[in-house]
Amino acid sequence: MRDMWLIRWSVVLVAGAGLAACAMDATEGDDDYTWADSGGGKADGANGGEQIAATGLAFDLAAMTGTATITLEAPGNVALEVEGLTIASVRDDRGNRHYKLADGKLLVTHVRGDLVVDYGFAQQTMANGLLPGGSTVIWPYFCGNLFPCHSQPADGTTFDLALTSVPAAASAVYPAEIASEAPPYMIAWAVGDYTKVALGTTDAGTHVSVSYLPEGKTAALKGTKHLEAIFDWYEKHLGPYSFGTDVGSVSVVWGEGLYGGMVHHPLWHVASDAMNDEVTHAHEAAHGWFGDGIRLRCWEDFVLSEGTVSYLAARSIGQVEGADAEAAVWSAYGGDLRSALHAGGAPAWPEGCNKIDIIKDNLFTDIPYMEGAYFYKDVAAKVGPEVLDGVLARFYVAHVGQAAGMQDMIDAIKADTGFDPSALVESRLRKKF
């Protein structure tokens, strides 16, 4: 069965870029990098500088070069992850800038205006950047293999994206603009011989489509048969979608052993061999509300994304296709949960905030997906599924475009319904294996 977001792979972290400096046009104070000494690592969430407001990206696929235009929320120092990039030049409103490369980060002091970085990038062999199949995957913290970034999910950014030198026999599927703040791992593209089919338009005016590769029509249309209706249900029961009016599933080739989907709204990716699985499509679509529309405050809050959308996939399928269809989803989830508990891993909701590495510390398992889904199912059994729909909708409206944590959801359930889910939190989400 689908792993949904869950992709199994052996992760090889790219080594830091070492320590180097480039002396361009000197500016007083540009050589003081003591502000960066306090952190910038993936675990503690510090980046040593200002937060990112907007990211403009232009890629030449033939030359394997990119230009990133980074707009900071305020002028100041910035540390950007660039571990897989070859930096060619750095400039801001004052012209060419001093910069330093240390531990896989690009350090620039006293940035004024947009920071423009020209660089080269490389194809990756793992699920950590541009893949041989023509698509990109940068979740959870591999954006630095594709563009200068902050990988912390709480730091939202808007995006502009442009690709040139797309092979003549192929087409590129990607959003040219994401005008609402999104987590850094959300942006992606896919290049291949695509056929796009319109699936319908929701009552809110959102156009839903599927894009598939050669010989993929039958599977794609089977898996997305109800996708427009499911997306319509999300819009009506959770709130307005925030990433545009054109959405859809895109088939991608990830490679052997990689299965499921990835949270690249508004055009989310689904592995070609999972295209016939409607739960995967429903799951990825729901990330437009939880995981993307609402970002994670900490990696420990992974269950707020995955557990919530796993529940919503089952719930929406039941509402669109009927009780038997929903029961089939929960039956499959039960098998996934048993397998996950047998394999073990971190609790579905570990203590702390950005104190873990989501991959190395074994949080990226089926446990947050399935224990999270069953947590919501148990809550629904206590308060009623329609009441829980209302809680999720109010939570989304309150937090859309922002970062939130699972504790916020627990508090919302208690405040909105009067039901205290603490016992379920301990038995489902905090349980150690």
Phi/psi of residue 109, nearest 5 degrees = -100, 150
Domain residues for the domain of 409 are 295-429
- Can you tell me the mean pLDDT for 124-140? 95
Q: What beta strand segments (E) does 121-243 contain?
A: 129-130, 136-137, 157-164, 171-173, 177-182, 190-192, 195-201, 207-212
Q: What residue type is 142 in one-letter code?
A: F
Q: Give pLDDT, residue 44.
A: 34
Residue 144, in any domain of the structure: yes
Tell me the mean pLDDT in the region 305-333: 98
Token pair belonging to 79: 């540390």
Q: Report the CATH number that the domain containing residue 104 is assigned in CATH.
A: 2.60.40.1730
Alpha carbons within 13 angstroms on the beta-carbon side of residue 230 total: 34
Q: Give a yes or no: residue 344 inside a domain.
A: yes
Q: 257-290: per-residue pLDDT in tens?
A: 778 999 999 999 999 999 999 999 999 999 999 9
- 219 and 334 co-located in one domain: no
Model confidence band, residue 116 (pLDDT cutoffs 50, 70, 90):
very high
Do 160 and 53 sit in the same domain of this protein?
Answer: yes
Match 């937090």 to its residue by tokens.
Answer: 399
Is 4 within the bounds of a domain?
no
237 and 104 part of one domain: no
Shared domain for 177 and 71, answered yes or no, is yes
**Domain at 232, CATH number:** 1.10.390.10
Identify the CA nearest to 183 among candidates 155, 149, 148. 155
Q: Are residues 210 and 315 in the same domain?
A: no
In a domain, 29, yes or no: no
Digit-coded pLDDT (tens) for 389-410? 999 999 999 999 999 999 999 9
For residues 256 and 387, state if they share a domain. Answer: no
Q: How far is Cα 153 from Cα 292, in angstroms, rounded to an integer?
A: 9
Is residue 17 in a domain?
no
Question: In terms of domains, do 279 and 303 share one?
Answer: no
23 occurs within a structural domain: no
Q: Is the Cα torsion angle 404, 348, 41, 163 positive or negative in sign?
A: negative
Residue at a domain's end among 286, 316, 346: 286
Q: Are residues 178 and 303 in the same domain?
A: no
Residues 143 and 267 placed together within one structural domain of the fold: no
Per the structure, the count of domains in the chain is 3
Listed residues 286, 316, 351: the one ending a domain: 286
Q: Are residues 209 and 265 in the same domain?
A: yes
Lowest-confidence pick of 37-41, 50-54, 70-74: 37-41
CB 348 within 8 Å of CB 382: no
231, 21, 228: which is closest to 106 by C-alpha?
21
Verify that 154 and 206 share a domain, yes or no.
Answer: no
318 occurs within a structural domain: yes
Higher pLDDT, 320 or 18: 320
d(CA 38, CA 40): 7
Given 144, 161, 184, the domain boundary residue is 184
For residue range 186-206, list pLDDT tens digits in order.
999 999 999 999 999 999 999
Confidence (pTM)? 0.93
pLDDT band with cut points at 50, 70 and 90 for residue 16 = very low
Summarize the confidence of residues 425-432 as an average pLDDT: 95
φ/ψ of 132, rounded to 5, equals -60, -25
- Residue 335 included in any domain: yes
